[in-house]
Amino acid sequence: MEAFNTSITLPFSYTFSTPSSSGNTLTTSSGPWMDSRIWSRLPQRLMDRVIAFLPPPAFFRARSVCKRWYALLFSNSFLELYLQISPRHPWFLFFKHKSLKSYIYRNNNNNSGNDRANCEGYLFDPYNMAWYRLSFALIPSGFSPASSSGGLICWMSDEAGPKTLILCNPLVGSLTQMPPTLRPRLFPSVGLTATPTSIDVAIAGDDLISPYAVKNLTAESFHIDAGGFYSIWGTTSSLPRLCSLESGGMVFVQGRFYCMNYSPFGVLAYDVAANMWCKIQAPMRRFLRSPSLIESGGRLILVAAVEKSKLNVPKSLRLWCLQACGTTWLEMERMPQQLYVEFAEEEGGRGFDCIGHEEFVAIMIRGSNKALLFDFYGKRWHWIPPCPFINHGGGGSGSSTSTGEDGELHGFAYEPRLATPVTGLLDHLTLPFQSFN
């Protein structure tokens, strides 16, 4: 089990009401009367199991009850129980938008202030439509979030050259550095998948072959698992000919990393076991706008706006699922036409980005604080309440906010976890790489 920082503070920013007691009973603002004569006699092991089912914000509030509950975060026995029985929380984690231009033309004299602004994240709970603020104060300057998986956020160095990655668990403040990549790159696409016993990372595109040319040529991968096998950026592969990646994240589904290919639209797939790339034709690729790939319940889904005005087909936003054969797409959902009209008016042609996590899909309008949430199980569409922790600027229908960098968010699927022991595997590597301060 990995070591934890015993000086950790509450990672969430929120307000909550304090329970009031009267006699032998306890009442809360949202629950029924509870007889302390019964609840005070619960065995500790049973109480630990109850606490392990709490969502992270409630768990950190509960730590203020007593010393024992406070110490649960540092208890190996509790964390082992937590890893076994704690339910999954398919939430989303957002950061303030940082454009590609800011990476390239960053002012070295002032970049510390910009980097500090990115050391804060905003956690969104789609079940309760609630926002929480997370601190990333321990992240060194010059790094930006690139991917997320298994309770870990992957941060990548901004500077051109061999890329350094940091895996961070924001709930416990742990940082784990990975060895730098072999090839120098500018702003590549990054894919991460972390399980309780393994870590796989893929980096593709933006080979820095000269100071004046950037090409999408190669990819390299990293693997380590509890069985003792590891491959430290030693597995490289060439991307398909005439591919055009747009820098960003990848989606991992059933042994493959996927990312979008542009001009024309298509999907690039990397088979981790076979170390091979291939192209998959996108549905209606000539009529797509703002396509995004997401993972939902073990499926690869493509979300995009469809505009076939010349064929007299109504404009719409659609979701397709890649079938088991790996080449065929099946349309599974379509935004209701009345809602799409409202969405298109808010979007104003600026484009949008999508994130998927289990049964939820979040659709964020670029240059705006507006976002939609789709629930696959309930077949419901909701407007997401604006994040209360950022300055949204003026903004309105069909216009971007007056503070685009402050009002626009980009994010990742995120499953908060109190423990990510898989990062301990990286600590056992004896590698000649320099750690950050």
Q: What is the mean pLDDT of residues 93-122?
A: 59
CA gap 366, 272 in Å, rounded: 32
In a domain, 324, yes or no: yes
pLDDT of residue 269: 93
Per mean pLDDT, which range of 11-20, 84-93, 406-415 is the poorest? 11-20
pLDDT of residue 103: 44
Q: How far is CA 384 from CA 125, 365, 395, 406, 421, in A?
A: 10, 11, 16, 17, 33
Residues 113 and 82 in one domain: no
Identify any residues that bridge with 263 across adjacent strands, giving them in sequence order.
none
Q: Output the six-digit token pair for 183.
A: 């090839």
Residue 413 has pLDDT above 60, yes or no: yes
In a domain, 436, yes or no: no
pLDDT tens profile 52-86: 999 999 999 999 888 999 999 999 999 999 999 99
Residues 374 and 248 in one domain: yes
Residues 186 and 267 in one domain: yes
Q: How many domains does the chain have?
A: 2
Residue 7 has pLDDT above 50, yes or no: no
Which distant-in-sequence residues (6+ apart) come within 8 Å of 402 by Cβ?
A: 393, 394, 395
State pTM to two decimals.
Answer: 0.83
Q: How many residues comprise the chain? A: 437
Q: DSSP labels for 215-260? A: E--EEEEEEEETTS-EEEEEEEEEPPTT--BPSSB-EEETTEEEEE
Share of the chain above pLDDT 70, in %: 81
Local confidence band at 6 (pLDDT 50, 70, 90 cut-offs): very low
Residues 300 and 197 in one domain: yes
Residue 363 has pLDDT above 80, yes or no: yes
Q: Output the six-digit token pair for 288.
A: 């797509």
Q: Which residue has the tokens 């990054």?
A: 190
Residues 54 and 123 in one domain: no
What radius of gyration, in Å, describes the C-alpha atoms of the chain?
23
Domain boundary among 87, 107, 122: 87
139 in Cβ contact with 95 (< 8 Å): no
Q: DSSP labels for 158-195? A: -SSEE--EEEEETTTTEEEEPPPPSSEESS-EEEEEEE
pLDDT of residue 151: 93
pLDDT tens profile 246-273: 777 899 999 999 999 887 789 999 999 8
> What separation, in Å, do the N-terminal and C-terminal C-alpha atoms of the chain show?
24
Residues 189 and 306 in one domain: yes
Residues 5 and 125 in one domain: no
pLDDT of residue 396: 41
Q: What is the mean pLDDT of residues 12-38?
A: 48
In a domain, 428, yes or no: no
Residues 76 and 108 in one domain: no
pLDDT of residue 33: 65
Q: Which residue has the tokens 């192209």?
A: 279
Provide the b/e sequence for 258-280 (b: ≥16 CB within 10 Å). bbbbeeebbbbbbebeeeebeeb
177 in Cβ contact with 164 (< 8 Å): yes
Q: Which residue has the tokens 């010393």?
A: 67
Q: Give the residue numbers spanning the domain of 42.
A: 1-16+31-87
DSSP one-letter code for 310: G
Give, in degrees to the nearest 5, the angle at Cα 99 between 108 and 192: 100
Local confidence band at 130 (pLDDT 50, 70, 90 cut-offs): very high
Local confidence band at 323 (pLDDT 50, 70, 90 cut-offs): very high
DSSP one-letter code for 306: E
In a domain, 55, yes or no: yes
Side-chain half-sphere CA neighbours of 417 within 13 A? 29
Residues 159 and 237 in one domain: yes
Backbone torsion region of residue 317, taken as left when φ is above 0, otherwise alpha when ψ lies between -120 and 50, otherwise beta: beta
In a domain, 183, yes or no: yes
Domain boundary among 41, 62, 87: 87
Residues 368 and 250 in one domain: yes
Per mean pLDDT, which range of 33-37, 78-82, 208-212 is the poorest? 33-37
Look at residues 403, 382, 400, 381 and name the one whose alpha carbon lies nearest to residue 392. Answer: 403
Amino acid at 164: T
Question: Please, what sign has the CA dihedral across residues 51, 57, 58, 61?
Answer: positive
Residue 392 has pLDDT above 70, yes or no: no
CA gap 247, 148 in Å, rounded: 16
Give, in degrees to the nearest 5, the angle at Cα 341 between 374 and 128: 25
In a domain, 99, yes or no: yes
In a domain, 382, yes or no: yes
106 in Cβ contact with 158 (< 8 Å): yes
In a domain, 432, yes or no: no
Q: Output the six-digit token pair for 72.
A: 């649960």
Q: Which residue has the tokens 């469809």?
A: 306
Residues 138 and 66 in one domain: no
Local confidence band at 312 (pLDDT 50, 70, 90 cut-offs): low
Can you give the CATH number for the domain in which 368 is found? 2.120.10.80
Residues 41 and 139 in one domain: no
